[in-house]
Each structure stands twice: as C-alpha cells, then as structure tokens.
Amino acid sequence: MNKLSIKGNEVLTKDEHLFAEELKKIVQVNLKRVYSAINYGQVYTNWCIGRRIVEQEQKGENRAEYGKRVAVIASEILTNEYGQGYSLTNIKNFRRFYIEFQDYTIGQTLSDQSEKTHSIASIATVIEKSQTQSDQFANSLELLPWSHYERLMRVPEKAARDWYMHEAAKEMWSFRTLNRNINTQYYERMLLSQMSPEVRLRCNKKQHAISMISLR
C-alpha cells in the first residue's frame, strides 16, 4: 500500500489512509455511473462525500480540531486525484449539505447498508449494486443542480428550505429565480397571505420589531 501524505510531507495514519481511499472510491464509482442529469451525479457524489467526512470526524478526541484536519485531507487528496472542484471551501459545503439534508431517504438507505461495512470494497459494492438508492434519492431530494442546493443550504428554516426545494423542481426555477424568491422571502409572504388580517398584522409588527433590534 502506497503511503499518502498531505502538505508538509506529513504521512497519514492507517485509518486516515483508508478514509482517503474511500473518498477517492466514492468519486471514482460515481464518475462511472450514468444519470439522467449530470448534476444529479454531482449532487449524489457531494452528499456521499459529506456523509463520509462527518463519519470520520467522530473518530477524533477533539472533534472540532480533528474536523479541520479531516477537511484538509479530503480536499488535498481529492484535488490531487481529480483536479478542480474539491477546494477546502467546497469540501466544507459538502459536509454542510449532508448535515442539512441527512434526513432524506438516501441518507437512511446508504447509511443503513454501509453501517457495518467500511472497507473500500464494501462501500463500492453498496454504491454500485444498489440502483434503487439512486431512485430513492431522486424521490427524496429533488433533481436540482448543485448550485441550487448551495443556495438552499443558506436558508436557515427547514420548512422554508424544503418548500423552496420542491417548488424549484416543480416550477423549474432557474438559479436566478430561486435566489430572488429566497431573498424576497416568497415563502414567508405566502404564509402571511393565508393568515387572517389580525394575525397578519401581529406578525408584521413582530417582524418590524425584530428588524429594528437588528439595526441597533
């Protein structure tokens, strides 16, 4: 087994080496898959990478500090192997993507089947042989470009985030439309329009008070 290293010629531990190999396998396997949309493959791959990073972070005694090391390892190994697209910023986004959307079907399906098997071969088998996972993923997370999910991750409220996701897919929103609707609080305004005038007035007063406090 060839020893892998990161900047400064620091050699990885055996467990970190396995972690790096599994990351490469995730990308390698998914690059070979044929999806109905290229962006679907990217979204699927990014979710898997994010999940694996979160798993690896649990192995450090100081999770905050070890989490930083895990992100650096993931970025450097994948960049060296596959080129652009795996900057430290992107790696952090993949991690956040998994955290924000881990409750969807793909998270449960992939996690359940690979919970007890963490070897490179077993991970590859889970991804390659389970075509139904891809179908379940499409039925859970909408078939949207990665740029849409990058924007959705910045919506703090889960109910709003899910609504924007489903509406973007149903109405075929471009990124520009999605971004505009989020920035203008389309979801929140829709909820207000469904309230009685009295309730709407109270909500508007409360929102105004919150806005004034934030300006201080």
Q: Largest Cα–Cα distance in the chain? A: 70
Give the total number of structural domains in the chain: 1
Q: Is residue 148 part of a domain?
A: no
State pTM to two decimals: 0.65
Question: Does residue 19 sit within a domain?
Answer: yes
Tens of each residue's pLDDT in the chain, 216 residues: 566 667 766 788 889 889 988 998 888 777 655 444 557 778 889 999 999 999 999 887 777 788 899 999 999 999 999 998 999 999 999 999 999 988 876 533 444 444 444 444 444 444 444 444 444 444 467 778 899 999 999 999 999 999 999 999 888 898 999 999 999 999 999 988 887 666 556 666 555 554 555 445
Residue 177 in any domain: the answer is no
Residue 39 is part of which domain span? Answer: 1-141
CA dist., res. 74 & res. 31, Å (int): 17
